[in-house]
Amino acid sequence: MSAMYDRLADLLVDRFEVDRAEIGPDTKFEDLDMDSLFLVELLLVIQSEFKVDIAEDAASPGDTIAAVAGLIARASAPAATATTSERA
């Protein structure tokens, strides 16, 4: 999997005490008994930890961990491009 997926999995284990054995790319947040309120909290933590701007309603309990990792990667891509452009 991607580095972003690994970071998200680590965040779920370290900050939210999810059992790593329950985490997989196709695991849905609802499979982990995580509701929409949890996802709002998770997305706020992601904004802080990953330094990305993601709307609080960007994910739903039916989304997979891999889908949210992709969301984070897309949100962080413009920042990486801008940083690279600024150095040129």
User: Which contacts qualify for 7-13: CB closer than 8 Å, 24 or more apart?
Assistant: 7/50, 7/69, 7/72, 8/46, 8/65, 8/68, 8/69, 8/72, 9/65, 11/42, 11/45, 11/46, 11/49, 12/42, 12/65
- Let me know if 35 is a catalytic residue: yes
Q: Looking at 14, 35, 53, 57, which residue is catalytic?
A: 35
CB 39 within 8 A of CB 82: no
Active site residues: 35
